[in-house]
Amino acid sequence: MAKVTVSTLAKMKREHNKITALTAYDASFAKLFDDNGVDVVLVGDSLGMVLQGADDTLAVTNADIAYHTRCVRAGSKELFVVADMPFMTYANPTQACENAAELMRAGANMVKLEGGEWLLDSIRALTQQGIPVCGHLGLTPQSVHVFGGFKIQGRGDNQAERMIADAKALENAGAQLLVVECIPASLAKRISQALTIPVIGIGAGKDTDGQILVMHDLVGISAGYIPKFSKNFLAETGNMPDAVKKYCQDVKSGAFPTSEHEFN
């Protein structure tokens, strides 16, 4: 598979070629994903829940993400690797640059931050220092206690308009990718159409520029419950390589997600 870059992803959006993404935390799965058609992997702070067994992502440290980023990069030199910046590691531009630098040195191609307008100064600082940025709007897990749980976001008109404005502001500040999570499919479509950068959805319907799932959900082994927006591709295919291939094929063709995996 050819090396994926930010230019690759931008071209995929322009050509209406869906982007496939999964979370990854180690070398073996990174290689598996690279070999079977995945474009982007996210070293997510979701590791706090699926690997460490916590109820949320808040205890994950920058050192945790850096360690797993090194593992993922060792498994593939070609994959585009996005590394999550954990809770309270980017409270101001200086802190954001210092912690992002550690993740880039570990092998990330881009860092991901959760939030809207308050992040603009940090995004400008990061991009000025040569660090590509992915934004994250909607259900931002690091704000779970503010939301009162893992709840759908953007359902009201005011919330929706605020999210569209935030998305445009993130792009204008220099973000080159955006993840939208657990928002109405109609809102995700509006955001995707409003931006020139790629928008990757999770629980956001089929009209985004790509899809991402937590790898444990893809194979039906997540502790606790499987979210409505996920699908167990392993149950359908019977082995890991075919599960990943089927996921990529279904995202590319538009067969996944369907209406049963989205919110209205």
Does a structural domain hold residue 80?
A: yes
Tokens found for residue 253 = 């063709």
In the predicted model, what is the mean pLDDT of residues 10-28?
Answer: 98
Evaluate whether residue 104 is within a structural domain: yes
Q: Where on the phi/psi map is residue 55: left (φ > 0), alpha (ψ -120 to 50), or beta?
A: alpha
Beta strand 110-114 pairing with 133-138 = parallel
CATH code of the domain in which 92 resides: 3.20.20.60
46 labelled ligand-binding: yes
The confidence band for 81, taking pLDDT boundaries of 50, 70 and 90, is very high
**85: in domain:** yes
| Higher pLDDT pick, 151 / 45 | 45
Q: Per-residue pLDDT tens for 240-261?
A: 999 999 999 999 999 999 988 7
pLDDT tens-digit map of 177-230: 999 999 999 999 999 999 999 999 999 999 999 999 999 999 988 655 677 788
**Other CB atoms within 10 A of residue 63 CB:** 12
Supply the pLDDT for residue 66.
Answer: 98
Residue 1 lies in a domain: no
User: Rounded CA gap, 5 and 195, in Å?
Assistant: 19
Task: Classify burial at 146, counting beta carbons within 10 Å of its beta carbon; exposed 0-12, middle 13-18, buried 19 or more.
Answer: exposed
Catalytic residues: 181
Which string of DSSP letters, residue by residue, matches 127-170? HHTT--EEEEEES-GGGHHHHTSS-----SHHHHHHHHHHHHHH
Q: How many CB atoms are located within 10 Å of the residue 11 CB?
A: 12
Neighbours of 255 (CB within 10 A): 11
Statement: residue 18 has pLDDT above 90: yes
114 known member of a binding site: yes
- What integer pLDDT is reported at residue 29 of this predicted model? 97
Task: Indicate whether 148 pLDDT > 60.
Answer: no
In a domain, 193, yes or no: yes
Q: What is the pLDDT of residues 28-42, one digit of tens each?
A: 999 999 999 999 999
The residue ranking higher by pLDDT, 95 or 220, is 95
CB-based contact 52:59 (threshold 8 Å): yes
Task: Please report the pLDDT score of residue 223 as a whole number.
Answer: 59
207 is in an annotated binding site: no
Q: What type of residue is 200?
A: I
pLDDT for res 163: 95
Residues with Cβ within 8 Å of 123's Cβ and at least 6 positions away in sequence, in order, are 113, 133, 135, 170, 173, 174, 175
Residue 210 to residue 192: CA distance in whole angstroms: 10
Task: Quickly state the pLDDT bin for 139 (edges 50, 70, 90).
Answer: confident
Q: 19 is in which domain, residue-wise?
A: 6-261
Q: In the chain, how many domains are there?
A: 1
